[in-house]
Copies of this chain bind each other. A is one copy, B any other.
């Protein structure tokens, strides 16, 4: 059973971009706001949602607050997806079978 909180958090385009930006390392609120061309309050608000979803963590550094990506929810998504991967690999196998049959017909 997958927690929909992660999906909710990532369903907002700005927050998805935040996650993508944070992939390369922690950033302060100001940096994030600047890169995404957001006003600071909006950045803080979206970061709060990501924080409560467990997708980021904060570390206070002097005046700044550095947000770092947390991978646990993404790992959970990855694990959730596991049950579905066989669906498209099966299809691929079927196609593979089909192509093999075609080839053996060609050779006969």
Nearest B residue to A89 via CB reads B71
Q: Are B23 and A4 in contact (CB under 8 A)?
A: no
Nearest chain B CB to A56 CB, angstrom units? 13
Interchain CA distance A19-B96 in the complex, whole Å: 26
Number of copies: 2
Q: Could you mark each residue 75-90 of chain A with 1 if its beta carbon is under 8 Å from any beta carbon of chain B, else 0?
A: 1011001011101100
Interface of A toward B, CB cutoff 8 Å: 2, 4, 7-8, 10-13, 16, 23, 69, 71, 74-75, 77-78, 81, 83-85, 87-88, 91
Q: Can you list 10 A-B contacts (CB < 8 A)?
A: A4-B10, A4-B12, A7-B7, A8-B11, A69-B87, A71-B87, A74-B84, A77-B77, A78-B81, A81-B81
